[in-house]
Amino acid sequence: MALYGDIRWRPNLLLKEQEKLSAGKITEKYQALRCKRGVCRTSSLELIGEEPLLIRIDEKPYSVVMRTPGEEIFHAAGFCLGEGIADTPDDFMTIGYCKDLDPNVIDIRLKPERREKIHDILARRGFVSQTSCGICGKEMIKDLYQILTPAENGFEVEVNSIFDCINKLSENQSHYQTTRGSHAAIIFDDQLEKISFAEDVGRHNALDKAIGKAFMSRKLFKASILVLSSRISYELVQKAARAHLPMMISNSRPTALAAEMGQSLNMTLACAGEEAELIILCGENRIVRE
Of the residues 35, 40, 98, 133, only one is catalytic, namely 133
What CATH architecture is 157-288? Answer: 3-Layer(aba) Sandwich (3.40)
Confidence of residue 33 (pLDDT cuts 50, 70, 90): low
271 is catalytic: no
For the chain, the domains span 7-22+50-145, 157-288
Report the alpha-carbon distance of residue 129 to residue 108 in Å, rounded: 17
Please write the tens of the pLDDT for every residue from 203-256.
999 999 999 999 999 999 999 999 999 888 888 999 999 999 999 999 888 888
Question: How is domain 7-22+50-145 classified at the architecture level of CATH?
Answer: Roll (3.10)
Q: Report residue 38's pLDDT band, with 50, 70 and 90 as the boundaries.
A: low
Task: Output the pTM of the full model.
Answer: 0.78
Residue 200 neighbours by CB under 8 Å, 6+ apart: 67, 68, 75, 182, 183, 184, 206, 209
Place 113 in a pLDDT band, splitting at 50, 70 and 90: very high
The pLDDT value recorded for residue 142 is 63
